Structure 1
Amino acid sequence: MKKPRIHFKSIAIFLSLLIMLQSCSVYKSAPVSIEEASQANSKVKVYKRNGEKVKYKKIIMTNEGHYYGIGKTKIFDKSKRVLINEEEIVMIRVIDKVQSSISTGGLLITWIGLNIYGISK
């Protein structure tokens, strides 16, 4: 009986591709106000006047009317609240969950198809 042929290189590339594409995010092209971004309760990308782009897991509004961006710090993956100065904001874009899922799935299906085509040759 023949043993099934395992392509370790293909499996390793597939797993690394899966890990890399999990962080793939597509943002809606239409900018939203800070109020709409806080109501969306999803990932946002804030463009500032100084050219800086900041990503937050979500934006929240406190009882005092201040807006905070919730983001991960690089140390220990803890959430961090950052006060957002509304005067510095040029544009806010909210994540497009549907488009993000489609693009991630489409890339994976394309990669799998090309890999199968390459193996069958």
Structure 2
Amino acid sequence: MKTFYKNMQIICFLLSVAFLLQSCHVYLSTPINLDEAVVTEGRIKITTADNKTHKYLWVEKSDSMYYGYTKKNGKVEKVPIEKDKIKNVHQVDKTTSTIATIGTVTAATFLALAAVFAVTCDCIE
């Protein structure tokens, strides 16, 4: 019975780690412009001319300025985007992100169960 509880602790730990790491975002390789980013109303990754990457929850246009929204310390912040310093803009690929997330959780679950089976199985001597 002690072995069972020990194995359950291992499974719970591995599944917890899998669920904590499941927020995977994959971006499309095809760049878009800022006006298209405003229309998509989704996650956007912007690379500047000096190769710095900025990730935004969404982008909006107000007057002639663009603003990106990021989350820092649990609060959503509005950050101005300098259009002339942008190298490229990519939107999130929702389908691939979902598949990657499910794949990560499934693989972690499979590995946890395989580890428990290997520990408890009497067939390996």
TM-score band, normalised by the shorter chain?
0.7 to 0.9
Identify which of structures 1 and 2 has the higher relative contact order when contacts are C-alpha pairs closer than 8 Å and 6+ apart: 2
**Could you say which structure has the larger radius of gyration?**
2
How many residues of Structure 1 are paired with residues of Structure 2 in the alignment? 116
Q: TM-score, normalised by structure 1?
A: 0.87
- Which position in structure 2 is the counterpart of 1:83? 80
Question: Secondary structure of 1:21's match?
Answer: coil
Rounded Cα–Cα distance in structure 2 between residues aligned with 1:109 and 1:16: 12
- Which position in structure 2 is the counterpart of 1:32? 32
- Which position in structure 2 is the counterpart of 1:114? 111
Rounded Cα–Cα distance in structure 2 between residues aligned with 1:102 and 1:4: 34
Q: Structure 1 residues 9 and 117, CA, compared in 2 at 3 Å: closer, same or farther? A: closer
Q: Structure 1 residues 13 and 116, CA, compared in 2 at 3 Å: closer, same or farther? A: closer
Question: Secondary structure of 2:21's match?
Answer: helix
Q: Is the 8 A contact 2:11 2:113 kept in 1?
A: no
Rounded Cα–Cα distance in structure 1 between residues aligned with 2:109 and 2:53: 33
Rounded Cα–Cα distance in structure 1 between residues aligned with 2:111 and 2:81: 45
Q: Is the 8 A contact 2:69 2:78 kept in 1?
A: yes
**Residue 18, structure 1, aligned to residue 19, structure 2:** yes
Structure number with the higher helix fraction is 2
- Following TM superposition, the consecutive aligned residue runs of length 4 or more in structure 1 with deviations greater than 3 angstroms are none
Deviations 1:42-98 (A, max 9, x none): 011100011110011000011x12110111233xx2111111111100000101111
Rounded Cα–Cα distance in structure 1 between residues aligned with 2:32 and 2:110: 37
Q: TM-score, normalised by structure 2?
A: 0.84
- Which position in structure 2 is the counterpart of 1:54? 54
- Which position in structure 1 is the counterpart of 2:122? none
CA shift, 1:13, in A, is 2.1
- Aligned-residue CA RMSD in angstroms? 1.8
Question: Secondary structure of 1:26's match?
Answer: coil
Letter of the 1:13 counterpart = L
- Which position in structure 1 is the counterpart of 2:121? none
Rounded Cα–Cα distance in structure 1 between residues aligned with 2:91 and 2:61: 16
